[in-house]
Structure 1
């Protein structure tokens, strides 16, 4: 396309915005320049929100934003603003809610909203619009002309609509009166999840099917609290994780998960791979392996961690954002196979195993081709072929290696190589937890590199975070998720290896959470800081979306930090958050998995174990605690060298005794110090008290 079409997106860091820098549309990034132009020229704003791995965003771009005639209408009638929802989740949250209010149905991406230039309030919106009328949707160019005409002729209606819309936003912000959570909230959530569980395929509900990791994590932690009473939670978890690992949502050659499945059986995914999905799934599969010792779960953790480090970690240490669903302009082309291609790549004995295991003997399952999923288990394959299971495993491993190498020669999906603080926080926690539980130092080292990268490149004034980084440039004021997810990740890293300087920095981060984000009047945390640009709403999101709720993660991390150092400013802020959220959780329990886990931990705190002594000796103590965790007790373990000076808060009172010592607290009560490894092992084997 001619360089004359180069627009104002060309200087942005977002790969998604850069994809549109050559459009004939006169795109602006969100900012004062565009907003002032719209006010001055009295033109409505066309706000388009998407992200680089979004398939339908690409379709609409190709059909409409690359079309000269459509662009001419957009440029004449509107001020056009393009937003990457991953860099500006604040705008995305606001205008997704606006879309839901206006259309009374859920939104999605691409999001297309039309705003009054004088107050940024929306007056019409939708998601994808085709270039010609179809799918019961108007042609985009026709819609543009109708919207522009409406704006010119119906100002009184527009003003009245804006006032009523602002009133709705204000009522949403007020929320309901806070109340203290209790066990009934947890039980109601469990029962709702049980009733929505797909007993055949795992997961919840039908197609399209998302992993809903926060809900699964809640059920696992509820089971750990009382294994007898909540056995159904473990069954839901293990069934779902096994079905996902066997399904096509999982990449059987390269590791890692796609974003969701378009069918109820997890067979055909929407092929984009998001960093955040794989981060939370890493943590969950690692915890599930610790509780069950199922080899399948360990295999998924290993392969997914290897994929993340191989394909998603930058040389500087940070993790990239996503892999596209498309390659060479076709969704899934990189991942799907022609059966004869596989037959030619593999020796007959290996093909015989792969054919039965991956369903190549069945009908094609994706547009005339095969997307790999487990159709027949390896023991069954071995039985059919009359070979030993170990031989079937050997042949499959060789086949997978050959297919992976062949796939490596294909044109890869596009990669969004910006580094997002919040998403990196999730992946740091995922890799650190997996490395700690499965004893893999390489994964912990990768998490450490990313954590230090964020501190070095996305932190200003020692404890203020920026949201995004690319090509040496970090910018945009940090959001709640940036602070909450990184705080949570830092606490996980402290369980892997203690560093007092890191704890001191995490305390500064927590103080920023309280001072910049907390709603001191009603409890909970706003999504944007108190010095963020003023928008039409200051969101306070409680429900999980594509990622766990920032309020849920903040509450959990603050509870843990407060108990660890004995600073009850943090635990009290967490309790205020849970009280503010309880009415919403009671109404829609299935939508608040992260907050449910925080509520469970508030009502039934885990054991906090602080070990002091010589590091090489303490390894045996931490191994004993890790191995005992499979028995059901939720436990956090921090091994602190005897040489560590100047510990903050009550940690300073965890003094070093002759030899090694374990300090164990649960809630508001602590045991006498445990002074021998055998006594510590005996304590770990003591059955925990259970509650509903």
Structure 2
């Protein structure tokens, strides 16, 4: 019989709707139930494409005996971290403070007042490698609650007090300047390995898209060749490695080295946010260098998102699972993506199969598991025809596909809109611009209410119950601003303004600090607030970037002042931890450059207008904003008082609405912007 999760919209929660565990969704009623029964709460947090979340569910949550024990001694709450990033952030902070590490699935035991006292991530069904079993953990917590209740509640109260007392250095000392950005670039240089092309030590490598965006902007503004070399090196390494899907395009979540000397292999889930961020970065790299590799990866990644993540409503699904059926009934990680030499030969024949094996680094021994290999693109390798690649992709499509998390997350769709519309504009793909516009329409129709308040998620056109957090407002505004610049449709600038006005009203605190949740949001044991990037830009720095762009479009001093206040954190953190505040560093580069405001005036049907517009979009000037339309067009303030020149189209390059002399040719505009 289904439990309470059967009525939820989250695919992750629905995956647990048939568990024998009597799960509750996060709700006041769940905590009231714990108070009435006098039992602790077990909070389990995960997400649909999390491999170890599935493992824990299969081993423990589907076990009748374990579930019966959980139901008797706990109120059990299941949370999708992608729906409730605020809940995840608050308790993950506690987990990391207590254990020194975190991850998912996250298991937190807490009082009926939500105060945590014991933590962990994945627990196996039997003790192993020094880890207790999940059942041992449950029995230990139950015993402590029954026999040492006062001690447990004292621990919970102390943890909650310690969390509340944490101070954030938000950089009240001023704006980041040349010195801080140069120190940040040097810090990245120290962590970059030019031999491997990866950033950071250790055997697990995540794609550093936000850091690369900073490096590209730093190069554009300062001419730093070191910054460009690192950006190029990281992008080439990722594109040639198994992080990138060499057949179908798009990026996996991360790669790791399972043992010394082994090939890096991916964790095969594909997330919308990774692909949106990296798609845009490769397009921006092409804009600077003209790299054919960057062009190919940007286009393939955009096409991947449209082909495999686009939903019936026109938005973009959150993720593809890592696991799928391997053809024998087993659910195996990577089964959809890996190959053996025999499989290549079966599809292509012996000669082309051998060429494909050389091309993709497929070996007889295998580079992954059970003799299979992940696909890579070594610098030195056999050539593969487009026909052979198409045949392999067609053969792969016959395999059992990984599951898809069909919920739309507002923030991630905002990132995707920005990437897809820019790739469409840069590479003359109007179909991609149309796909981005359709996704923006979905966010307005489904996620935005009459007061421009955003819902965090939706599924199948049904809006979720959870409110948007700061990253939703910031990233959706970012997408709308990019779409406005590409399409010349001022309505997207207007919608971005609605969202950013809510940021000013609901998310800004004393001294210009930003919070991840709105002033009127549900109160947790701590109000989440984190300016550092994780897998996505932090809401804090994403808001600073969008506020700065909107101010450049409109001349609004309120939005610019809020952006400057927010970017004080980059002065504090950029030199010390540049890998973890890349989006803020990128925004700081835009601030130091102006950012440039480019107004293109002319008839939309005049090819000279189009040529100037394209030149403006090709500019690598950090954070430059573009407005295009007829002179005096009311939708874009940048077009007001910007007349034609000699009766023909013209472009004005401005900073804070102070403009240089207009230019009339693409060449002169490019010179002005350089």
TM-score range, shorter chain: over 0.9
- 1:606 corresponds to 2:595: yes
Moved more, 300-309 or 17-26: 300-309
The answer on whether the counterparts of 1:203 and 1:236 sit within 8 Å (CA) in structure 2 is no
The answer on whether the counterparts of 1:359 and 1:373 sit within 8 Å (CA) in structure 2 is yes
- In the alignment, the residues of structure 1 paired with residue 346 and residue 491 of structure 2 have an alpha-carbon distance, to the nearest angstrom, of 56
Residue 417 of structure 1, CA deviation = 0.6
**Candidates 351, 354, 361, aligned match of 1:352:** 354
Residue 634 of structure 2 corresponds to which residue in structure 1? 646
SS at match of 1:639: strand
Residue 328 of structure 2 corresponds to which residue in structure 1? none
- 1:159 corresponds to 2:161: no
When the two chains are superposed, the root-mean-square deviation of aligned CA atoms in Å is 2.0
- 1:491 corresponds to 2:481: yes
- 1:86 corresponds to 2:77: no
Moved more, 181-190 or 89-98: 181-190
The answer on whether the counterparts of 2:12 and 2:47 sit within 8 Å (CA) in structure 1 is yes
SS at match of 1:664: strand
- 1:449 corresponds to 2:446: no
Residue 577 of structure 2 corresponds to which residue in structure 1? 588
Moved more, 541-550 or 349-358: 349-358
Residue 208 of structure 1 corresponds to which residue in structure 2? 204
Q: Summarize deviations over 1:596-618 as a string: whole Å, max 9, x none.
A: 11122222223211111101221
Query: CA 1:683–1:142 in structure 2 vs 1: closer, same or farther (change >3 Å)?
Result: closer
The answer on whether the counterparts of 1:252 and 1:372 sit within 8 Å (CA) in structure 2 is no
SS at match of 2:192: coil
**Candidates 20, 27, 31, aligned match of 1:31:** 27
Query: CA 1:633–1:511 in structure 2 vs 1: closer, same or farther (change >3 Å)?
Result: closer
Residue 302 of structure 1 corresponds to which residue in structure 2? 299
Residue 126 of structure 1, CA deviation = 0.6
The answer on whether the counterparts of 2:240 and 2:378 sit within 8 Å (CA) in structure 1 is no
Q: Summarize deviations over 1:402-433 as a string: whole Å, max 9, x none.
A: 11111111111111111111111111111112
- 1:515 corresponds to 2:505: yes
Residue 669 of structure 1, CA deviation = 3.8
Q: Summarize deviations over 1:201-251 as a string: whole Å, max 9, x none.
A: 212123110011111111111011112xx2111111111111111111111
**Candidates 97, 113, 120, aligned match of 1:101:** 97
Moved more, 29-38 or 659-668: 659-668
Q: Summarize deviations over 1:71-96 as a string: whole Å, max 9, x none.
A: 11111110000000011111111111
**Candidates 473, 477, 480, aligned match of 2:470:** 480
Residue 233 of structure 2 corresponds to which residue in structure 1? 239
SS at match of 2:293: helix
Residue 340 of structure 2 corresponds to which residue in structure 1? 338
Residue 563 of structure 1, CA deviation = 1.6
**Candidates 681, 685, 689, aligned match of 2:667:** 681
The answer on whether the counterparts of 2:110 and 2:156 sit within 8 Å (CA) in structure 1 is no
Residue 569 of structure 1 corresponds to which residue in structure 2? 558
Moved more, 596-605 or 54-63: 596-605
The answer on whether the counterparts of 1:610 and 1:662 sit within 8 Å (CA) in structure 2 is yes
- In the alignment, the residues of structure 2 paired with residue 239 and residue 585 of structure 1 have an alpha-carbon distance, to the nearest angstrom, of 22
Q: Summarize deviations over 1:574-627 as a string: whole Å, max 9, x none.
A: 111112453233442321111111122222223211111101221021233345
Residue 373 of structure 2 corresponds to which residue in structure 1? 371
Query: CA 1:638–1:524 in structure 2 vs 1: closer, same or farther (change >3 Å)?
Result: same
Residue 109 of structure 2 corresponds to which residue in structure 1? 114
SS at match of 1:172: coil
The answer on whether the counterparts of 1:354 and 1:396 sit within 8 Å (CA) in structure 2 is no
Q: Summarize deviations over 1:295-337 as a string: whole Å, max 9, x none.
A: 1111111211111111110121111110000012111111112
Query: CA 1:478–1:355 in structure 2 vs 1: closer, same or farther (change >3 Å)?
Result: same
**Candidates 265, 274, 282, aligned match of 1:268:** 265
The answer on whether the counterparts of 1:244 and 1:266 sit within 8 Å (CA) in structure 2 is no
The answer on whether the counterparts of 2:313 and 2:460 sit within 8 Å (CA) in structure 1 is no
The answer on whether the counterparts of 1:287 and 1:437 sit within 8 Å (CA) in structure 2 is no
Query: CA 1:297–1:362 in structure 2 vs 1: closer, same or farther (change >3 Å)?
Result: farther
Unaligned runs of 5+ in 2: 326-330
SS at match of 1:261: strand
The answer on whether the counterparts of 2:250 and 2:304 sit within 8 Å (CA) in structure 1 is yes
- In the alignment, the residues of structure 2 paired with residue 263 and residue 174 of structure 1 have an alpha-carbon distance, to the nearest angstrom, of 35
Residue 459 of structure 1, CA deviation = 0.8
SS at match of 1:663: strand
TM (norm. structure 2) is 0.94
Query: CA 1:656–1:685 in structure 2 vs 1: closer, same or farther (change >3 Å)?
Result: closer
SS at match of 1:124: strand
Q: Summarize deviations over 1:549-591 as a string: whole Å, max 9, x none.
A: 1111111111111121111100000111112453233442321
Residue 339 of structure 1, CA deviation = 1.6
Q: How many residues align?
A: 660
- In the alignment, the residues of structure 1 paired with residue 286 and residue 152 of structure 2 have an alpha-carbon distance, to the nearest angstrom, of 56
Q: Summarize deviations over 1:629-661 as a string: whole Å, max 9, x none.
A: 36x77643221234x753465643335563323
- 1:54 corresponds to 2:50: yes
SS at match of 2:640: helix
The answer on whether the counterparts of 1:608 and 1:666 sit within 8 Å (CA) in structure 2 is yes
Residue 387 of structure 1 corresponds to which residue in structure 2? none
The answer on whether the counterparts of 1:267 and 1:373 sit within 8 Å (CA) in structure 2 is no
The answer on whether the counterparts of 2:549 and 2:623 sit within 8 Å (CA) in structure 1 is no
- In the alignment, the residues of structure 2 paired with residue 648 and residue 623 of structure 1 have an alpha-carbon distance, to the nearest angstrom, of 18
- In the alignment, the residues of structure 2 paired with residue 565 and residue 256 of structure 1 have an alpha-carbon distance, to the nearest angstrom, of 35
Residue 503 of structure 1, CA deviation = 1.7
- 1:636 corresponds to 2:625: yes
- In the alignment, the residues of structure 2 paired with residue 635 and residue 648 of structure 1 have an alpha-carbon distance, to the nearest angstrom, of 15
The answer on whether the counterparts of 1:353 and 1:396 sit within 8 Å (CA) in structure 2 is no
Moved more, 596-605 or 344-353: 344-353
Residue 178 of structure 1 corresponds to which residue in structure 2? 172
- 1:545 corresponds to 2:534: yes
Unaligned runs of 5+ in 1: 382-391
| Aligned 1:245-324 pairs, distance under 5 A | 245-263=239-257, 267-324=264-321
SS at match of 2:165: helix
The answer on whether the counterparts of 2:418 and 2:480 sit within 8 Å (CA) in structure 1 is yes
Moved more, 397-406 or 648-657: 648-657
Residue 141 of structure 1 corresponds to which residue in structure 2? 135
Residue 97 of structure 1, CA deviation = 0.4
- 1:536 corresponds to 2:517: no
- In the alignment, the residues of structure 1 paired with residue 634 and residue 422 of structure 2 have an alpha-carbon distance, to the nearest angstrom, of 27
Residue 99 of structure 1, CA deviation = 0.2
The answer on whether the counterparts of 1:247 and 1:374 sit within 8 Å (CA) in structure 2 is yes
SS at match of 1:522: helix
TM (norm. structure 1) is 0.92
- In the alignment, the residues of structure 2 paired with residue 176 and residue 86 of structure 1 have an alpha-carbon distance, to the nearest angstrom, of 26
